[in-house]
Amino acid sequence: MTTSFGPSYVRAIAPYVAGKPISEVAREFGLDEARIVKLASNENPLGMPESAKTAMAQAASELGRYPDANAFELAAHAFVEKNQSVVYAQYSFAVYALATQGLGARAIVVPAVEYGHDLDAMLAAISDDTRLVFVANPNNPTGTFIDGATIEAFLSKVPRHVAVVLDEAYTEYLGADKRYDSIAWVRRYPNLLVSRTFSKAFGLAGLRVGFAIAQPELTDLMNRLRQPFNVNTLAQAAAIAALNDKPFLQKSAELNAQGYLRLTQAFDKLGLEYVPSHGNFVLVRVGNDDGAGNRVNLELLKQGVIVRPVGSYGLPQWLRVTIGLPEENEAFIAALEKTLATA
């Protein structure tokens, strides 16, 4: 007799697949790890700031004690019950779908417009049982951006019993002309939660730390669900240091802008379609058939370049390429040119 553990909606989840690590590509293709370029996971190519390394070293002496207990957990678990609904956009971050399915909730996936959010359609899609809406700005994996006025107009119309998570994982890469004050919106909209991460521009991807800003009614719910001490001492120390390291953040943004220009110039030269991006990555179309993304990705891997195929997002003809250091960008461009020339 076979016993199946757990709810059927959990067993039906396809686990999130992370970008290939350098060590795995080296083993699989017999390559030298030192020559492999990883542009798959939207990490900061500058790595961790020295300020964060110093803070971690100083915090190491306290590792025998529990860390500060205040932190943040998935909003979906706090706001949504089984069979209620969650609204998010087509081509938005894969974890929104995983979180929804993991709750046994109903996903309302709103078709994208030019690979980005259609907020009017998302507003219209909210139903009586909707309890949560995810909005990523800039969006991953497409890099699209919604201006502040459009988002605030959307927030003003969302029913107050529906929580809105504004995911700003890539906001530090925005130019000054694109910035808006989402923290001021939190003061006006009690159903808004703004989430940010230290994994991208701050260079702390391996520490898995971020933060959220919301009014007490929302944060109180999440505080009741989160695991105790869910952000470790070293991660907290590094995050505090990185948050105050303005020169590192500026250097990261400048490097990203230069890299974006180089990659898009190369795509233009190759005649490749890409989505204008406001993050630290570019979504580029590398063929016309549904096997194009995986095929080109494999050839790039053979040359020691790791990017991200996005067929799981319904974009099998595309690749998402993280903007790297200048030499990493050049290695990718050379490998891509070679791959397309022999296709």
Interatomic CA distance for residues 62 and 64, integer angstroms: 5
* Mean pLDDT rounded to a whole number for the chain: 90
Q: What is the mean pLDDT of residues 284-297?
A: 96
Structure confidence at residue 56 as a pLDDT band (50, 70, 90): confident
Instruction: Return the percentage of the chain with pLDDT > 70, whole number.
Output: 92
| 72 has a pLDDT exceeding 50 | no
pLDDT at position 74 = 43
Residue 125 parent element (H or E): helix 119-125
pLDDT at position 77 = 79
Q: What is the mean pLDDT of residues 224-249?
A: 88
Q: Which of 4-18, 34-48, 197-211, 257-271 has the highest mean pLDDT?
A: 257-271
> How far, CA to CA in Å, does 256 sit from each of 53, 142, 146?
22, 16, 20
Instruction: Note if the bond before 159 is cis, omega within 30 degrees.
Output: no
pLDDT at position 143 = 97
| Rg from Cα positions in the chain | 21
DSSP 272-339: --EE--SSSEEEEE--SSTTHHHHHHHHHHHTTEE-EEEGGGTEEEEEEEE---HHHHHHHHHHHHHH
Supply the pTM of this predicted model.
Answer: 0.87
Structure confidence at residue 71 as a pLDDT band (50, 70, 90): very low
Task: State pLDDT tens for residues 113-153.
Answer: 999 999 999 999 999 999 999 999 999 999 999 999 999 99
Interatomic CA distance for residues 260 and 326, integer angstroms: 10
| 159 has a pLDDT exceeding 60 | yes
Is 3.90.1150.10 the CATH number for 17-47+246-341?
yes
Residue scoring higher pLDDT (342 or 295): 295
Range list for CATH 3.40.640.10 in the chain: 75-225
Interatomic CA distance for residues 123 and 109, integer angstroms: 12
Structure confidence at residue 73 as a pLDDT band (50, 70, 90): very low
pLDDT at position 153 = 97
Q: What is the DSSP letter of 165?
A: E
pLDDT at position 69 = 52
Query: The domain at 75-225 falls in which architecture?
Result: 3-Layer(aba) Sandwich (3.40)
Q: What is the mean pLDDT of residues 141-166?
A: 97
pLDDT at position 4 = 60
Range list for CATH 3.90.1150.10 in the chain: 17-47+246-341
Task: State pLDDT tens for residues 173-186.
Answer: 999 999 999 999 99
Interatomic CA distance for residues 302 and 306, integer angstroms: 9
Q: Token pair of 33, please?
A: 């790890």
Structure confidence at residue 1 as a pLDDT band (50, 70, 90): very low
| 338 has a pLDDT exceeding 70 | yes
Q: What is the mean pLDDT of residues 270-287?
A: 97
